Structure 1
Amino acid sequence: MAEDGGSTRLAPVDASERIGLLDALRGIALAGIFVVNIEWFSRPWQEFGNGMVPGLAGIDLAVAWLVHVFVAGKFWVLFSLLFGIGFALMMERAQASGRATRMYLRRLAVLFALGVAHALLAWVGDILHAYAIAALGLLLLRGLSPRAQLGIGLAIYVGLYALSLLGGWAMVAFPVEGASELLAESVRDAEAAAAVYANGGFGEITAQRARDFSMLLTNAFGVVPMALAVFLVGSWLFRSGRIADVAGHRPFFVRMAATCLPLGLVLTLASAWLSTGDPDGFFDTRWVFASSLHGLGALPMTLGGVALLALAWQGARGQAVMTFFAPAGRMALSNYLLQSIVASLVFYGYGLAMWGRPGQAGMVLFAVLVFVAQVLASRWWLARFRFGPLEWAWRWLTYGRRPPMRNRADAV
């Protein structure tokens, strides 16, 4: 999660406006992430990477397709961009005090611990622990120029997906020996995991989460450098002065929207076309190509979307609409973890046991309703307190002193 702006100043532009923009973007990212994540509270992790749920029809197919094209992957990238921006903001302040590295390492240690606890106790798909690891690389590369950070970030991002596409070609040229046996084993594991999540108690499901988490740790070899790549692009976006002065760089944002959005959309639509139909399993090369193209298109599509939103923020109407998301964005860490707690209590066996019951459209509607409730609850909370509860604890553990919690008007 990126640092929110309680005391941050994005000079030379008015601080409240800049912080408002970042909080709004963070809230929008939080909504999009939940819309994507909700599927995996009713689908076993052994199917991760196999694209859309097979066999959908009607409104469920339409909703799944819209989420796949316009939401999936994009809001994870947006969250990562904001993390990179938050890093640059924090280091700018911390370096002035001469204690940047120690403070930042404490911050990452807390984030890593929260992420692992989240994965084991609520939801396996946690991203916080991977963020904490990737941010160590960001710390090492902080001395590079903004242009160098951008170049390295883009090279890592494109390079990883190029390797993925090469891997897809290799699977065609050199078929995996024993693929059918591995596929059969994966199907059995998925069925067993689904049964545990749907019917198990808290202890059984926690044990299954631990097994799934250990299985997904292999993804860290791709997720961590990918996150670092996007962090570097976000750091460049702040350090170049562009995100701090959108009005002064309006031609740049217009160009970014006009070039990045079409490029990202073409790659994503190509991915959606390839992923039409039922997969033959994890070793289906069609899905490897589709997944690679989808990820490759996520960064340009997200950058184009950020450009449009930043331009919209300059107008009163656009700012009014986007401000709706800002309260949830100011409490992004608390809300991110709360989403998992609520969803696990609704869909898992130790809660309402709704696993597998709603269709794709119903799952997305649930996510939207929960997020709207979070916005309203966040607005109520922030009218009384300076930070979200976990944001407050995170600052306390990072800085080594307890920050005041109540707003001054409410302080006793």
Structure 2
Amino acid sequence: METIQPLQQKERLFILDAIRGIALCGILILNIGGFGRPFQASRHLLVYNETSHADLASWYVTNFLVEGSYRGLFSMLFGAGMLLLVHRLAKQHPGLAAADIYYRRLIWLLLFGLFNAYVLLWFGDILYAYALCGLFLFPFRNSSVKLLVALAVFCFAVTVYKGWSRTDERLAVRNRAHAAMQLEKQKKPLTDKQQEDLKAWKMIEEKSSVTKLREGARKKISDMQKSYSDIWQHLAPLIRSFESTKMYDGFFFDVMLFVFLGMVFYKTGILTGDKPLWLYGVFVVAGYIVGFGWGILEGNAYRAVNFDYYRYLEVRPVKIEIYQLHRLLVTCGHIGLIILAWKSGWMDWFLKPFANVGQMAFTNYLMQSVLCTLFFHGYGLGFYGKLTRSELWYVVVGVWVFQIIFSAVWLRYFLYGPLEWVWRSLTYWKRPPLVRGVSTTVVPAA
């Protein structure tokens, strides 16, 4: 009888696990603000008068230097992982079996994403988005690099257009309101539309004032210091928004852009270190010098206008939407640096702990939700809103250390992470071996 089996240990690619582990740890740098502080203070240093060098450096790093890059790296690994899985399944058993396993796996991923969002209460869950995006990938498993690049360019264009249109509409509201103000000063009557524009702009100005932001932050902290059921009711609308409106409005293309690029980078050997060293050097130089330099200029512009978002849109160095290009550059910088370290031959001691984390990425991703919500939420230790921007790094490093140690110890005795094993069991309808040195029967092919 032909069989389909989960990925065996000898088939794993060390460098992909290492990149995945570093991406997972890096994601927490950006997520920690959502876990532990009100969004009103995310980009605005004056809400809490954060003036220390440590807070300022943290503000630059999280908002302008690496923002979105580790998520981009994680998304690339999702695309590469899809190709690894379906090609291995196709070799074992041609026909519908590969699709059956692949889509069954995605359905469970979607359910785990809903669990992360609605039970563990992490509104920024990415698993749900990956599951939905993954539904569209199977037909492209054998696509040419040229087609995949074209699809990535299309997704890039969509995200740029959507970003530009949102910015253009915001500025249009302000400009119409300013025109209405001039008419008011001239004692001229306003049309109903002009009155609506003026009212909308005054509401925007009021909500964006430091006073209102502080009030909103205080209320947010109060809401997050309550019981599990109260916090669930508070976060449920935000979770629904993330997994419906925001997902289908633009985040789908945001994810698919890097998933397609991950497929390209895997097919061309970039992610597996098969390209010449000079290419990875170019990735590091272009990615970090241009990407970080660009980010610093953006941050300087934001500070120069005293965190006024609308004035920032006017004075920022580049007037077009650059978010995706910036994070792509920095993501490529990460890839170049990691692979150069690996190819050097003397950095395995550094990469191995992250490869362990990456081998258990599913477990560790959900573990971050458990650890952080219990640390910050009111039904746990209740540290929400109590740490400064720079103090959040202590939590980040603490979680990293715990997960690195936990992953190393667990994989010493077991073949898979605990949730990886559960996911495989549900996907293949049979329990694969878990303890090292213990074997079981293989899974009958569907």
TM-score bucket of the superposed structures, by smaller chain: 0.7 to 0.9
| Equivalent position of 2:265 in the other structure | 237
Give CA-to-partner distance per residue, 1:251-276, whole Å, 9 cap, x none.
43333334344332343233322332
1:180 aligns to 2:202 (yes or no): yes
What SS does structure 2 have at the residue aligned with 1:300?
helix
**For residues 129-140 of structure 1, what are the structure 2 equivalents within 5 Å?**
129-140=128-139
Please tell me whether the aligned partners of residues 291 and 326 of structure 2 are also in contact (alpha carbons under 8 angstroms).
yes
Deviation at 1:119, TM superposition (A): 1.0
**C-alpha displacement of 1:302:** 0.6
Change in Cα spacing, 1:35 to 1:242, as seen in structure 2 (3 Å) is closer
CA shift, 1:182, in A, is 5.5
Q: Which runs of 5+ in 2 are unaligned?
A: 1-5, 178-196, 441-446
* 1:20 and 2:49 matched: no
- Segments of structure 1 that go 5 or more residues without pairing to the other structure are 10-14
Deviations 1:331-356 (A, max 9, x none): 11111111111111111111111111
Identity of aligned residues (%): 27
The residue correspondences of 1:62-141 to structure 2 (distance < 5 A) are 62-96=57-91, 97-98=93-94, 99-122=97-120, 123-141=122-140
Match for 1:215: what amino acid?
S
- Equivalent residues of 2:18, 2:352 under 8 A apart: yes
The structure 2 residue matched to 1:222, chosen from 250, 253, 278, is 250
Contact residue 171 and residue 285 of structure 1 kept, 8 A: no
Distance 1:320 1:7 in 2: 23
Q: Which amino acid aligns with 2:423?
A: W
Q: 1:369 to 1:329 in 2, by over 3 A?
A: same
Q: Is 1:194 aligned with 2:221?
A: yes
Task: Report the CA distance shift for 1:174/1:262 in structure 2 as closer, same or farther (over 3 A).
Answer: same
Query: How many pairs are equivalent?
Result: 396
Moved more, 176-185 or 20-29: 176-185
Q: Which moved more, 1:136-145 or 1:232-241?
A: 136-145
Asked if the contact 2:283/2:336 (under 8 Å) is kept, the reply is: yes
Aligned to 2:186: none
Match of 2:160 in 1: 161
SS of residue in 1 equivalent to 2:148: helix
What residue in structure 2 maps to residue 41 of structure 1? Answer: 35
Q: CA deviation at 1:88?
A: 1.0
1:44–1:190: 8 Å Cα contact kept in structure 2? yes
Shift of residue 239, structure 1, vs aligned partner = 1.4
Distance 1:53 1:402, change over 3 A: farther
Residues 31 and 368 in structure 1, CA contact (< 8 A), matched pair in contact too: no
Cα 1:67–1:200 change in 2 (3 A) is same
How many Å apart are 1:249 and its aligned residue?
Answer: 3.4
- Assess, with a 3 A threshold, how the Cα gap between structure 1 residues 76 and 183 changes in structure 2: closer, same or farther: farther
Partner of 2:373: 344
d(CA) in 2 for partners of 1:271 and 1:218? 28
Deviations 1:80-105 (A, max 9, x none): 01111101111111222232222111
Check whether the contact 1:137–1:228 (CA below 8 A) recurs between aligned residues.
no
Query: Closer, same or farther in 2 for the Cα pair 1:130/1:34, shift >3 Å?
Result: same
User: Residue type matched to 2:130 in 1?
Assistant: Y
Which residue pairs with 1:31 in the alignment? 25
Matches within 5 A, 1:253-332: 253-276=280-303, 278-280=306-308, 285=313, 292-332=321-361
The verdict on how the C-alpha distance between 1:189 and 1:222 changes in structure 2, with shifts beyond 3 A counting, is farther
Decide which of 384, 392, 398 is 1:355's aligned counterpart: 384
Instruction: For 1:393-412, list aligned pairs within 5 A.
Output: 393-408=422-437
Q: Which residue of 2 aligns with 1:61?
A: 56
Report the counterpart of residue 252 of structure 1 in structure 2: 279
Alignment of 1:356-375 (within 5 A): 356-375=385-404
Shift of 1:230: 0.5
Q: 1:90 to 1:286 in 2, by over 3 A?
A: farther
- Structure 1 stretch 184-193 or stretch 326-335: which is displaced more? 184-193
CA, structure 1 residues 184+334, in 2 after alignment: closer, same or farther (shift >3 Å)? Answer: farther
Cα 1:316–1:356 change in 2 (3 A) is: same
- C-alpha change, 1:78 and 1:290, in structure 2 (3 Å) is farther
3-state secondary structure, aligned to 1:169: helix
Instruction: After superposing the two structures, state which structure 1 stretch, 89-98 or 259-268, moved more.
Output: 259-268
Structure 2 residue 43 is the aligned partner of structure 1 residue 51:
yes
Deviates more, 1:27-36 or 1:313-322: 313-322
Q: Is the 8 A contact 1:158 1:296 kept in 2?
A: no
Secondary structure at the counterpart of residue 353 of structure 1: coil
Structure 2 residue identity aligned to 1:352: L
Whether the 8 Å CA contact 2:149–2:264 is kept in 1: the answer is yes
Q: Structure 1 residues 190 and 291 mapped into 2: Cα distance closer, same or farther (>3 Å)?
A: farther
Cα distance in 2, alignment partners of residues 284 and 210 from structure 1: 32
Distance 2:17 2:32 in 1: 22
- Counterpart-to-counterpart distance in 1, 2:275 and 2:159: 34
User: Given the superposition, is the C-alpha separation of residues 309 and 202 from structure 1 closer, same or farther in structure 2, using an over 3 Å criterion?
Assistant: same
Which residue number corresponds to residue 180 of structure 2?
Answer: none
1:305-328 per-residue CA deviation (whole Å, 9 max, x = no partner) reads 202211210122222222221111
Q: CA RMSD in A?
A: 2.9
Rg comparison, structure with higher value:
2
Superposed displacement of residue 75, structure 1: 0.5
Shift of 1:284: 7.4
Say whether the 8 Å CA contact 1:51–1:275 is kept in structure 2. Answer: no
Shift of 1:67: 2.9
